[in-house]
Amino acid sequence: MKEQLIQNLIKDGCLKTSAIIEAFQEIDRKDFIPEELKYAAYEDRPLPIGRGQTISQPRVVAFMLELLEPKKGEKIMDVGSGSGWQSALLANIIGQEGRVVAIERIPEIYRIGKDNCKKYGFKNIEFIQGDATVVQKKKGYFDKIVVAAAARKVPESLKYQLKVGGRMVIPIRSSIFLLIKESEQGYIKKEFRGFLFVPLIQ
Protein backbone atom coordinates (compact mmCIF):
# COMPACT_ATOMS: atom_id res chain seq x y z
CA MET A 1 0.00 0.00 0.00
CA LYS A 2 2.87 2.39 0.76
CA GLU A 3 4.36 1.83 -2.68
CA GLN A 4 0.98 2.43 -4.30
CA LEU A 5 0.68 5.79 -2.51
CA ILE A 6 4.15 6.78 -3.67
CA GLN A 7 3.46 5.74 -7.25
CA ASN A 8 0.21 7.74 -7.23
CA LEU A 9 2.08 10.84 -6.00
CA ILE A 10 4.68 10.38 -8.74
CA LYS A 11 1.99 9.89 -11.36
CA ASP A 12 0.17 13.04 -10.20
CA GLY A 13 3.37 15.09 -10.38
CA CYS A 14 3.58 15.69 -6.62
CA LEU A 15 6.79 13.68 -6.22
CA LYS A 16 9.53 14.38 -8.75
CA THR A 17 12.97 14.49 -7.14
CA SER A 18 14.79 11.18 -6.58
CA ALA A 19 16.05 12.10 -3.08
CA ILE A 20 12.52 13.01 -1.94
CA ILE A 21 11.05 9.85 -3.49
CA GLU A 22 13.70 7.74 -1.72
CA ALA A 23 12.89 9.44 1.59
CA PHE A 24 9.18 8.62 1.15
CA GLN A 25 10.17 5.00 0.54
CA GLU A 26 12.54 4.75 3.51
CA ILE A 27 10.61 6.78 6.12
CA ASP A 28 7.33 4.97 6.75
CA ARG A 29 4.38 7.25 7.55
CA LYS A 30 2.92 4.39 9.58
CA ASP A 31 5.63 4.94 12.21
CA PHE A 32 4.33 8.47 12.90
CA ILE A 33 0.62 7.76 13.36
CA PRO A 34 -1.30 6.78 16.52
CA GLU A 35 -1.81 3.02 16.89
CA GLU A 36 -5.56 3.18 16.35
CA LEU A 37 -5.11 4.95 12.98
CA LYS A 38 -2.28 2.89 11.50
CA TYR A 39 -4.77 1.21 9.15
CA ALA A 40 -5.08 4.61 7.38
CA ALA A 41 -1.34 5.31 7.16
CA TYR A 42 -1.21 5.13 3.36
CA GLU A 43 -4.41 7.00 2.68
CA ASP A 44 -3.82 10.39 1.06
CA ARG A 45 -5.39 12.48 3.79
CA PRO A 46 -4.39 14.23 7.01
CA LEU A 47 -4.86 12.26 10.23
CA PRO A 48 -5.24 13.47 13.84
CA ILE A 49 -2.28 13.01 16.22
CA GLY A 50 -3.82 14.67 19.29
CA ARG A 51 -4.30 18.15 20.76
CA GLY A 52 -6.10 19.30 17.60
CA GLN A 53 -3.00 18.67 15.46
CA THR A 54 -2.61 16.47 12.39
CA ILE A 55 -0.03 14.61 10.35
CA SER A 56 -0.30 16.30 6.97
CA GLN A 57 -1.72 14.79 3.80
CA PRO A 58 1.11 13.01 1.91
CA ARG A 59 0.59 14.95 -1.32
CA VAL A 60 0.84 18.26 0.55
CA VAL A 61 4.08 17.18 2.25
CA ALA A 62 5.44 16.06 -1.13
CA PHE A 63 4.40 19.33 -2.78
CA MET A 64 6.02 21.45 -0.06
CA LEU A 65 9.26 19.45 -0.04
CA GLU A 66 9.54 19.74 -3.82
CA LEU A 67 9.18 23.53 -3.47
CA LEU A 68 11.73 23.57 -0.64
CA GLU A 69 14.37 21.64 -2.64
CA PRO A 70 16.27 20.19 0.36
CA LYS A 71 19.85 19.14 -0.39
CA LYS A 72 22.62 17.14 1.26
CA GLY A 73 24.43 19.01 4.03
CA GLU A 74 21.86 21.80 4.47
CA LYS A 75 20.54 23.25 7.72
CA ILE A 76 16.72 23.24 7.68
CA MET A 77 14.18 24.49 10.20
CA ASP A 78 10.95 22.46 10.43
CA VAL A 79 8.36 24.66 12.12
CA GLY A 80 5.45 22.83 13.74
CA SER A 81 7.19 19.48 13.52
CA GLY A 82 4.21 17.62 14.96
CA SER A 83 4.38 13.84 14.45
CA GLY A 84 8.00 14.11 13.28
CA TRP A 85 7.32 12.59 9.85
CA GLN A 86 8.44 15.61 7.83
CA SER A 87 11.47 16.10 10.11
CA ALA A 88 12.48 12.48 9.48
CA LEU A 89 11.99 12.87 5.72
CA LEU A 90 14.22 15.96 5.79
CA ALA A 91 16.84 14.24 7.95
CA ASN A 92 16.97 11.39 5.46
CA ILE A 93 17.42 13.77 2.52
CA ILE A 94 20.09 16.06 4.00
CA GLY A 95 22.26 13.27 5.39
CA GLN A 96 24.49 13.19 8.46
CA GLU A 97 26.41 16.29 7.35
CA GLY A 98 23.19 18.32 7.44
CA ARG A 99 20.96 19.39 10.34
CA VAL A 100 17.22 19.60 10.89
CA VAL A 101 15.98 21.84 13.69
CA ALA A 102 12.48 20.60 14.53
CA ILE A 103 10.42 23.06 16.56
CA GLU A 104 7.06 22.19 18.14
CA ARG A 105 5.13 24.43 20.52
CA ILE A 106 2.82 21.86 22.17
CA PRO A 107 4.80 19.83 24.77
CA GLU A 108 2.81 16.61 24.32
CA ILE A 109 3.15 16.72 20.52
CA TYR A 110 6.84 17.63 20.81
CA ARG A 111 7.43 14.45 22.83
CA ILE A 112 5.46 12.33 20.35
CA GLY A 113 7.46 13.64 17.38
CA LYS A 114 10.79 13.18 19.15
CA ASP A 115 9.91 9.61 20.16
CA ASN A 116 8.71 8.76 16.64
CA CYS A 117 11.99 9.93 15.10
CA LYS A 118 13.98 7.83 17.58
CA LYS A 119 12.74 4.77 15.69
CA TYR A 120 15.15 5.73 12.92
CA GLY A 121 18.15 6.64 15.08
CA PHE A 122 18.75 10.02 13.47
CA LYS A 123 21.66 12.02 14.90
CA ASN A 124 21.06 15.05 12.66
CA ILE A 125 17.77 16.31 14.15
CA GLU A 126 17.72 18.86 16.98
CA PHE A 127 14.33 18.99 18.72
CA ILE A 128 13.19 22.21 20.36
CA GLN A 129 9.98 22.58 22.34
CA GLY A 130 8.93 26.20 22.03
CA ASP A 131 7.67 29.05 19.89
CA ALA A 132 9.26 29.05 16.43
CA THR A 133 8.41 32.75 15.97
CA VAL A 134 10.96 33.53 18.72
CA VAL A 135 14.49 33.58 17.28
CA GLN A 136 16.21 30.26 17.97
CA LYS A 137 19.37 30.59 15.86
CA LYS A 138 21.68 33.31 14.58
CA LYS A 139 21.03 35.51 11.56
CA GLY A 140 21.14 33.63 8.27
CA TYR A 141 21.64 30.27 9.99
CA PHE A 142 19.23 28.23 7.87
CA ASP A 143 19.48 27.26 4.21
CA LYS A 144 15.79 26.36 4.14
CA ILE A 145 12.73 26.80 6.37
CA VAL A 146 9.44 24.91 6.06
CA VAL A 147 6.32 25.67 8.09
CA ALA A 148 3.54 23.13 8.65
CA ALA A 149 0.76 25.45 9.88
CA ALA A 150 -0.99 28.46 8.37
CA ALA A 151 0.35 31.86 9.45
CA ARG A 152 -1.39 35.23 9.06
CA LYS A 153 1.85 36.60 7.62
CA VAL A 154 5.49 35.54 7.37
CA PRO A 155 7.10 35.91 10.82
CA GLU A 156 10.01 38.36 10.75
CA SER A 157 12.05 36.05 12.97
CA LEU A 158 11.97 33.36 10.28
CA LYS A 159 13.10 35.83 7.63
CA TYR A 160 15.96 36.85 9.94
CA GLN A 161 17.18 33.27 10.33
CA LEU A 162 17.02 32.45 6.59
CA LYS A 163 20.25 32.98 4.69
CA VAL A 164 20.43 35.05 1.51
CA GLY A 165 19.76 32.63 -1.33
CA GLY A 166 17.66 30.44 0.96
CA ARG A 167 14.12 29.17 0.44
CA MET A 168 11.11 29.24 2.76
CA VAL A 169 7.87 27.34 2.19
CA ILE A 170 5.04 28.58 4.38
CA PRO A 171 1.23 28.36 4.36
CA ILE A 172 -0.54 31.71 4.71
CA ARG A 173 -4.27 31.35 5.16
CA SER A 174 -5.33 28.96 2.34
CA SER A 175 -2.26 29.35 0.13
CA ILE A 176 1.25 27.93 0.18
CA PHE A 177 3.95 30.53 -0.46
CA LEU A 178 7.48 29.95 -1.70
CA LEU A 179 9.87 32.73 -0.69
CA ILE A 180 13.37 32.91 -2.12
CA LYS A 181 15.57 35.38 -0.24
CA GLU A 182 17.43 37.38 -2.90
CA SER A 183 18.92 39.92 -0.48
CA GLU A 184 18.48 40.98 3.15
CA GLN A 185 15.25 42.76 2.23
CA GLY A 186 14.35 41.32 -1.18
CA TYR A 187 12.27 38.20 -1.83
CA ILE A 188 10.86 36.39 -4.81
CA LYS A 189 7.37 35.20 -3.84
CA LYS A 190 5.22 32.55 -5.51
CA GLU A 191 1.72 31.67 -4.34
CA PHE A 192 -0.07 28.34 -4.72
CA ARG A 193 -3.75 28.50 -3.77
CA GLY A 194 -6.30 26.03 -2.47
CA PHE A 195 -4.87 24.39 0.66
CA LEU A 196 -6.10 23.87 4.21
CA PHE A 197 -3.86 23.84 7.32
CA VAL A 198 -4.22 24.05 11.06
CA PRO A 199 -3.36 27.60 12.23
CA LEU A 200 0.15 28.57 13.33
CA ILE A 201 0.02 29.82 16.90
CA GLN A 202 1.63 33.31 16.84
CB 184 within 8 A of CB 159: no
Q: Strand 175-181 relative to strand 162-172: parallel, antiparallel, unpaired? A: antiparallel
Burial class, 75, CB count within 10 angstroms (exposed 0-12 / middle 13-18 / buried 19+): buried
Is 56 designated active site?
A: yes
Whole-angstrom distance, CA of residue 106 vs CA of residue 108: 6
CB 167 within 8 A of CB 144: yes
Whole-angstrom distance, CA of residue 187 vs CA of residue 178: 10
Whole-angstrom distance, CA of residue 86 vs CA of residue 90: 6
Q: Which of 18, 56, 83, 174 is catalytic?
A: 56
Report, as residue numbers or ranges, the catalytic residues. Answer: 56
